[in-house]
Structure 1
Amino acid sequence: MKTIDEINHKISRGEAAVLTASELKRQVADGEHLSVADVDVVTTATFGIMSGTLALVHIPVSAPGTFHHAEKAWLNGVPAIPGPCPNERLGVVDLVVFGTSRANQSYGGGHLFRDLVEGSEVEITVETGGRQISRNVTLAEMDLARIVTTRSAFMNYQALVNRKEGTERTIFSVRGISGPFREVTVSGCGDINPLQNDPQGRVIGVGSRVLLNGGMGYIMGTGTRSTRKHPNIAAFADMKEMAPEMMGGFVTSDGPECITSIGAAIPVLDDTILDSIRITNAGIPLPVADIEDRTAFTSSHYGEVWDHTDLVITYSPEACLQCEPCQAAAICPTRAIIPGERIDPLRCVHCGTCLRECIGDAFSGNLGTITVEGRPVPITCRQSSREHALRICHHLKTLIIEGKFHLTGKCGDLW
């Protein structure tokens, strides 16, 4: 049996054997025999809509003595909660901003967080004593800016259908979910999800170091709605270390949501841990629920979502009919489509919504189908991006190989 200290020494010496989860599973599928001696660390990740995301920020607003304390506040129109510290007469505010709060139906907390990380100026407006004070501010001017997740990296999630006639507006779809059984939306990155590769919580726990939106962070414990059967985590990280392409906003049929990503390194200490990492998509259940009550009534598996489907949506400009307006661009939940030109690779999350909107079929990608009670139902929206999660796995692998990311042993169990 290895120890985390031993693995960290190997990382420091540039001798650690590091694989991404997909690389290890591919080797196993190819018939290679892997033992604990062959691999020290396996990198895992997930990327997608995670409503349980908030920001805690400390912002200078005006000179000391200008106002007593903030009663209300907004950042780019997104409502923020002042406090808990009143910062009386200091001219500064502590704010909590939910990733699901919104300025309007197309701009919310997730968009705001990405704008800040990109270095954009945002407007801070404070209401105090019957007046408003506003100024523009950047992330660099904030003494503290931290993302906190209250519920993230679920050990995979579920698929949702509508069993009734009509279309249900929901955060789980860009256009709404039409029924009966006309389409299905999915979440979860399958067999590269961190908790899916450590289902017993042997090495992932309180104090484990992770990448949160590309920045170095730590796990605080379990998140809300976490259960032993369907666990998730709560984590935090400094916004100033984050990567904008690993986070952002996503406009659903029920308004803006928040995109968040988590990457975790699993130390391969013994055979039990290695055996857990061998799991593949086809062996991971995918509960199928009705959007009306979100109660699972049947089950599929993640092999139908991620095996033999296209992880990336592609665009053929020669097929573009130059429609005015471009319906695909108008409905794109991340505003990644530049009509007649290209898809912005730093914004597209490969959800697949554009595939059914473009009458010229300029966009292509096989999203697959899910078998629901014996019938194939087409996947029309993926709210998780395995492509992005794979990038995070590779990035984390590189950081470890370069000695820039060492493992932390957990200081407490998740369950």
Structure 2
Amino acid sequence: MRSIDEIRTALADGSAVILTASELKKRITQGDTVSDVDVVTCGTCGVMSGTYAVLSVPVAPPGTFSRADTISLNGVPAIPGPCPNERLGLVDLMVFGTAHADDRYGGGHLFHDLIAGEEIHIAVTSAGKDYEAYVTLSDLPFARLFTTRSAFKNYSAIINQSSGPVKTIFSALPLQGTSTQATVSGCGEINPVENDPTLRFLSAGSPVILNGAGGRVIGTGTRSSPYRPNLSVHADLKEMDAHFCGGFRTAAGPECITSIGTAIPVVDTDVLSSLSVLDCDIAMPVVDISDRQPVGTASYEQVWTGTATRVLYHPERCLHCSPCDARTACPVDAIREDGTINQTQCFVCGTCVQICKGSVYEGNFGSITYEGAGIPIVLRQSDRRRAEILCRRVRDMLVRGEFQI
């Protein structure tokens, strides 16, 4: 259809036709032509456990201590090293997005707070003595975010076939038994890997946008397979946007929200064929939480077609529970003290809809089909609305020359 160089020229002179994945899918379902499209932007946003950061943190003047034995950031434990930085007062460290300070604050929250410019408390022990400091991201000489696996081509729907509830990272509240509830992840037809399943444009070294910052693909991640590939990526923490990352509390402790976007050049019909995938075409295995083995199959059409893109608020229905169950349970603290929703912060996960006794919060989150019956989806651990914002962000970066294919 066209070469990479021709598309780059069109991008440079402003004549390129750039569509987000959602815009392309809309054209396809309406039967409109797509032969004029040069580039399609894709994105995903969701809970991605395999996220970690490597930081270099100044703690004290040189000579204050030899090397750090332990270190924490806002109470989140980190791993000092591998470089000891002996007597420099500087600690290189690794901190996992799934590390916990407590049951409400973890590594994902820490990454968000760092990127948002907030002051972070550092606590170090060395040779039996304690040291502390307060730093912001601008104080760190090195700060880079990595993923060990992210943006799976497709995820699984989780159910609980046992008789009793189970606390799991796949549910904000204990997942009820006897297959009465389902939780889901993945942004379906707009996910980068779903639109480039052979990783033709997502191979090692390819550019991506990680939490709003320009980064690179390292390669495939852990548990990647030809059927369900995923990515390992990295980018500079200092260039990221806090809107695209954060913490997400689950019944088994805090998890980490990560967003990944990219742009796919439409160079031939094979690429266009991959880009034409729709939610209804994407199989989603249904697995039991006990052993994570498939027991059935659903599709992303059941997750995203005709379901809520925002949670509605009905204050007249409020029963004035104290404390407010919805506010306490919200995985991203999007419900204010007066019960209203911070729509910018809201993850549209469905937890408040599930738990509120007065039905103050409303939204259709769909259901999956299992053994001929519908199982209601009580939690979405991916935010497609935010992923679409990222798709538009990547499009705008292409137009401004801030992202290259």
Please say whether Structure 1 and Structure 2 have the same fold, judged by a TM-score greater than 0.5.
yes
Pick one of 355, 358, 361 that aligns with 2:356.
358
- What is the distance in 2 between the residues matched to 1:7 and 1:315? 45
Note if contact 1:322-1:340 (Cα within 8 Å) is conserved in structure 2: no
Number of residue pairs the alignment of both structures matches: 405
Identity, in percent, stands at: 49
Aligned counterpart, 1:4: 4
Distance 2:4 2:202 in 1: 12
Alignment correspondent of 1:149: 147
CA shift, 1:329, in A, is 0.1
- Considering only aligned residues, what root-mean-square deviation do their CA atoms show, in Å? 1.1
Pair 1:91 & 2:89 matched: yes
Q: Offset at 1:42?
A: 0.3
Instruction: Name the counterpart of 2:378.
Output: 380
- The structural deviation recorded for 1:13 is 1.6
Q: Look up the match of 1:32.
A: 32
For residue 178 of structure 1, give the secondary structure of its aligned residue in structure 2: coil
* Partner Cα separation in structure 2 for residue 216 and residue 317 of structure 1: 41
Deviates more, 1:316-325 or 1:383-392: 316-325
Q: 2:310: which partner in 1?
A: 312
Output the CA distance in 2 between the equivalents of 1:204 and 1:56.
Answer: 23
* Structure 1 gap segments, 5+ residues each: 408-415
- Give the corresponding residue for 2:292: 294
Given the alignment, which residue of 378, 387, 390 partners 1:389? 387
Q: Which residue of 1 aligns with 2:369?
A: 371
Q: C-alpha displacement at 1:403, in angstroms?
A: 2.2
Alignment of 1:111-122 (within 5 A): 111-122=109-120
TM superposition shift of 1:341: 4.6
Does structure 2 retain, via aligned residues, the 8 Å contact 1:84–1:94?
A: yes
TM-superposed CA distance for 1:312, in Å, is: 1.6
Task: Tell me if structure 2 keeps the 8 A contact 1:14–1:402.
Answer: no
Alignment partner for residue 104 of structure 2, among 103, 106, 115? 106
Cα distance per residue 1:31-64 (max 9 Å; x no partner): 11222xx011101111110000001111111111
- Counterpart CA distance in 2 for 1:241 and 1:180 is 46
8 Å CA contact 1:45–1:261 kept in 2: the answer is yes
Check the 8 A contact 2:327/2:339 in 1, yes or no.
Answer: no
The aligned counterpart of 1:321 is: 319
Q: Name the residue aligned to 1:135.
A: 133
8 Å CA contact retained: 1:263, 1:396: yes
Choose 9-18 or 73-82, whichever is displaced more.
Answer: 9-18
Q: Does 1:19 align with 2:19?
A: yes
For 2:280, the equivalent position in structure 1 comes to 282
Q: Which moved more, 1:293-302 or 1:343-352?
A: 343-352
Partner amino acid, structure 1, of 2:155: Y
**After the TM superposition, which residues 43-58 of structure 1 pair with which residues of structure 2 at under 5 Å, given as runs?**
43-58=41-56
CA distance in 1, matches of 2:46, 2:181: 19
C-alpha deviations, 1:137-178, integer Å up to 9, x for none?
Answer: 100100111110011011120101111211011000011211
What is the TM-score when the length of structure 1 is the normalising length? 0.96
Q: 2:67 maps to what in 1?
A: 69
Aligned to 1:189: 187
Distance in 1 (CA, whole Å) between partners of 2:139 and 2:349 is 34
Quote the residue 1:339 is aligned against.
337
> What's the offset of the Cα at 1:9?
2.3
